[in-house]
Amino acid sequence: MKQIVFEDSRAVAEAFAEFLSKEIEKAATFHMALSGGSTPKLLFAYLAKEYADKIDWKKVHLYWGDERCVAPTDDESNYKMTNDLLLQHIDIPFENIHRVLGKRNPEEEAIRYGKEIEWNLPIENTMPVFDLIILGMGGDGHTASIFPHEMKFVVSDKTCVVATHPTSGQKRISLTGEVINQAKQVHFLVTGGSKSKVVKEIATKTGDYENYPAAHIEGATWWLDELAAK
């Protein structure tokens, strides 16, 4: 488990933005899956402010690692958050934005979105290969929308699945663990003291770590603030 620790969540976002800009610069085309959450909010706002003209967004294709089955105008939508903070402020072609159509039937949309990803990305070992995936982690150890009660999605042979939030019952479209593990790079952005116990158990392979979906993502780099790493 590779860890990079920064003073606070803002420092995490700023450092990752610099790293990301360099990775995009090296690529001819860059396929990236985004995450929701508080730290990505800081990241997207910082990218819009400092990297709108520094990154060649025309060669970047954006996807979502998971999305709630809601309208794109709903405040719970990961797409809406990204659109408000980043997409409206950068010069990226419309066809480079590959969003989940959350208002459609979840089962049908999981299939459609999986096919869209498979059509656009190279395939290796029967799985599409992202250049980079950004992930967060919940206090229960979930990542994307793979929750502890649905560990089967860690090893599913599908590209996308319909996940169910354990308390609200809300349906979500999520990449599977197999797709995430196939990516060239995976980066967790995890901040806040509420995550520190789970981070420690995953890092040391102790406690309940085997039941945390995030623990089954291999070769990832974890960008942490001091509270999450304590």
- pLDDT, average across residues 149-170: 97
109 falls in which pLDDT band (50, 70, 90)? very high
Is the pLDDT confidence value at 1 over 90?
no
Predicted local confidence at residue 193, as pLDDT: 96
Of 21, 85, 81, 83, the closest CA to residue 53 belongs to 21
pLDDT of amino acid 155: 97
| Interacting residues of 118 by C-beta distance below 8 A, sequence separation 6+ | 128, 159
Residue 35 lies in a domain: yes
Mean pLDDT, the chain, integer: 97
Domain containing residue 62: CATH number: 3.40.50.1360
* 29 inside domain: yes
Q: pLDDT of 138-157, one tens digit each?
A: 999 999 999 999 999 999 99
φ, ψ for residue 168, nearest 5 deg = -85, -20
Name the token pair of 5: 């620790």
Decide if 117 is inside a domain.
yes
Q: What band does 39 get if pLDDT is binned at 50, 70 and 90? A: very high
Number of domains present in the structure of the chain? 1
Does a structural domain hold residue 179? no
Q: Does residue 10 belong to any structural domain of this protein? A: yes
- Asked if residues 60 and 90 have their Cβ atoms less than 8 Å apart, the reply is no
Residue 96 lies in a domain: yes
Within a domain: 175: no
The per-residue pLDDT for range 180-203, each reduced to its tens digit, is: 999 999 999 999 999 999 999 999
Distance CA 16, CA 224 (A): 11
Would residue 178 count as lying in a domain? no
Range of the domain at 141: 2-170+185-229
In this structure, are strands 66-68 and 171-175 parallel, antiparallel, or unpaired?
A: antiparallel
